[in-house]
Amino acid sequence: MQRWAVVLIALGLAAGLIVGGQRFILEQDFTTVEMAVDLADLMAQEGTQDLSKILTGLDTWGADSLVITLPTTQQWKPDELRKMAQAIRSAGCRVILRVGGDEEAAEQQGLELGGRPEPADGTFSVNELAAWISLIQPQVVMFGGACIAVSPEDLVLLASLLRGTGTRFGLQEFAHQVGEAELARLAPTHVVRVHTIYPRELPRYEVQSAQTRFLRAVRERSYRLLYVRFWPGMLPTNRELLSELAASLQAAGYTRGPAASLPSWQAGRGYFAMAILGWLGAGLMLCSCLGGHAPSRWKRWSCWCLTGVAVALFALYLFYDQLLAGQALAFLAAITFPTLAAIPQRWAPAELTSSTNAFSTKGLSPVCTGRWQAIGQSLRQFGRAVGITLAGAAVVVTALGDYRFMLKIAQFRGVKAMSLLPLVIVGYAAIAHFLSLGRPLKLRRRWQAMSAAARTLSVIGALAVIVIYIGRTGNFVIPVPALELRLREALEELFLFRPRTKEFVIGHPLLILGLGLYGWGWHNAGLLGVVFGTIGQISLLNTFAHIHSPLQACLSRSAWGLSLGAIIGCCLLSAALLLLDRHIGGRAEAGDQPGKTNQGKDMNMGYHSPSVKG
């Protein structure tokens, strides 16, 4: 079964490489960025309502488009709108229509975020919107406030209107408008992603920080329409922001013009089938590792179950919902591959596990006779783990290989679950492996020996760690500490794409440390390090689940994360082995207690040492 599993994983890897190549080519042509400013903001900055004066000095602002905002509570004269739009186009600018005011205006009307105003108070009919679009002829339509300014039953008609007129819908980041996701789903080829700093956020930004945020949105999250709002009464500052932003876009290799669009690209059913087979191979190998000495009946049952899931995924893709099938496959891959990469039943010595497999440590030195050998062996095992995780990343890239994922109309689901489940499974596998060595856990005895206060603090501390870890997987659940923000800013200055801190600071170093300590004979500490080192493999695969980020960004930040993590991990492992050798007594005897050594060389405790007993 192991050989067949390797073949299946290779098929999934091949599909990922091909689909990734196709996506990389698409992204090379997806480099045109549009800068838009609000006409009302511009008039307030210039201190005039005279449109001709505004347009005369428009070149000094450097904007590509002007946004005409139509509040839902204000009446507009058709001739006035037509003349305004014609004058803007004659001045060489494109026109964007924004229906509805800012979110703050909606809140002042008593609307909460996620609420919807009554049709008589704040929405247009589709016929009214069609009239505005006919008069203004905008390239893009956006909506302000907390919701799309049409009733929910009219979203289908609005999508038809956008397709019929060739007008694109501006999907704004962090707007969370009611109806935006449904409208984007109904008209996916007419979606342009918009990034803006909302007026309520502007006081927290300066020119440099605002410019950095816009550039990051373009470079790391593929936003192509930048809607730049102005600080009130700060004319020179706003001019400086537009100038700095234009210069930074040019320096980064982006061109200016109408916001770039993506074709309706999809990976196709053939590559999707190969990705399913890749996950199936990893699932079979994982079941084989976890099965141990389980009866052959259990192994056959698990094999048939996994095969049934694979068939169901392909049927879901063919006959029901391609996006849902891709999300399901990506989620399963995100659970399976990092778990397979880290479980000790895969990388631990053959003598200490129930079976060998293609990714075992067969061929490695059976005993680490020196620190450098331990570090080298740990790095080789770390490389195997990374290889498995990257094969899973290839499966995820294929599963989410659709332009709708690239535009974030649909996205990977289950980030919190994929961040926790592999840790739980690897933790269980580590305990099972430790027991297979004939070692007592003594957890119950140690727990009973603790005082009530110590137990309470331990539970609270564990829950706090879990909450922080899971909460940090989102954008807004738990804020980033100031120290980490400064670290991120420093990394952004050093690297084109910032490596993820949880990878090179926590996950990768702990995995290398755990593998090395285990090879040195400290099995308790080694297995604990490997369990928490799984965080790095989870994060590594999760990087490639952000399909809206350019593939170049994913590869760059992963490569730097692996390189920095390997350096830090080797330093930690070297220091730990030196400390053990000099101050604790070298290799651990049974139960990870310091044992006797002969100048640190004549040791009888190692990977394949027959004296490892209970």
Radius of gyration over every alpha carbon of the chain, rounded to an integer in angstroms: 29
pLDDT value at 369 more than 50: yes
| Range 176-197 average pLDDT | 93
Domain ranges of the chain: 2-14+265-594, 31-256
Q: CB 176: neighbour CB atoms within 10 A? A: 13
Residue 254: HSE in the Cβ half-sphere, 13 Å Cα cutoff:
30
Nearest partner of 538 among 356, 399, 389, judged by Cα: 389
First to last CA, the chain: 32
Mean pLDDT of the chain: 84
Q: What is the pLDDT of residue 510?
A: 96
Q: What is the pLDDT of residue 395?
A: 97
Percentage of the residues of the chain whose pLDDT score is greater than 70: 85
State which H helix or E strand residue 172 sits in. strand 168-172
Collect all residues with Cβ–Cβ distance below 8 Å to 234 and sequence separation of at least 6.
none
Query: How far is Cα 426 from Cα 330, in angstroms, rounded to an integer?
Result: 19
pLDDT value at 358 more than 90: no
Q: What is the pLDDT of residue 585?
A: 58
Give the tokens for residue 561.
């994360």
Alpha helices in 450-507, H assignment, sequence order: 452-471, 482-494, 501
Least confident of 59-68, 98-107, 252-261, 435-444: 98-107
Nearest partner of 68 among 108, 38, 93, judged by Cα: 38
Q: What is the pLDDT of residue 613?
A: 34
Q: What is the pLDDT of residue 286?
A: 93
The bridge status of strand 32-38 relative to strand 225-228 is parallel
The angle formed by the CA atoms of residues 445, 447 and 452, to the nearest 5 degrees, is 135
The bridge status of strand 593-594 relative to strand 588-589 is antiparallel
The angle formed by the CA atoms of residues 352, 589 and 568, to the nearest 5 degrees, is 80
Q: What is the pLDDT of residue 610?
A: 35
Question: What is the band of 543 on the pLDDT scale with cuts at 50, 70, 90?
Answer: very high
Query: How far is Cα 361 from Cα 375, in angstroms, rounded to an integer?
Result: 14
pLDDT value at 108 more than 50: no
- Give me the CATH topology for the region 31-256: TIM Barrel (3.20.20)
Query: How far is Cα 491 from Cα 610, in angstroms, rounded to an integer?
Result: 47
pLDDT value at 478 more than 90: no
The angle formed by the CA atoms of residues 28, 29 and 35, to the nearest 5 degrees, is 110
pLDDT value at 396 more than 60: yes
Q: What is the pLDDT of residue 293?
A: 61
The angle formed by the CA atoms of residues 69, 70 and 75, to the nearest 5 degrees, is 145
Q: What is the pLDDT of residue 453?
A: 83
Nearest partner of 100 among 163, 215, 179, judged by Cα: 179
Query: How far is Cα 286 from Cα 337, in angstroms, rounded to an integer?
Result: 9
Nearest partner of 344 among 441, 426, 437, judged by Cα: 426
Q: What is the pLDDT of residue 600?
A: 39
Tens digits of residue pLDDT in 403-431: 999 999 999 998 889 999 999 999 999 98
Give the tokens for residue 380.
């080789």
Tens digits of residue pLDDT in 283-310: 999 998 887 666 777 778 888 999 999 9
Query: How far is Cα 488 from Cα 55, in angstroms, rounded to an integer?
Result: 40
The pTM of the full predicted model, rounded to 2 decimals, is 0.85
| Range 592-600 average pLDDT | 40
Measure CA 119 to chain center.
37
Q: What is the pLDDT of residue 363?
A: 35
Residue with token string 């094999």: 303
Pick the more confident residue, 250 or 595: 250
Question: What is the band of 103 on the pLDDT scale with cuts at 50, 70, 90?
Answer: low
Torsion angle in degrees (nearest 10) through CA of 94, 99, 101, 107: -150
Tens digits of residue pLDDT in 16-40: 999 999 999 999 989 999 999 999 8
Query: How far is Cα 460 from Cα 95, in angstroms, rounded to an integer?
Result: 55
Residue type, 614: G
Q: What is the pLDDT of residue 313?
A: 97
pLDDT value at 597 more than 90: no
Q: What is the pLDDT of residue 482?
A: 74
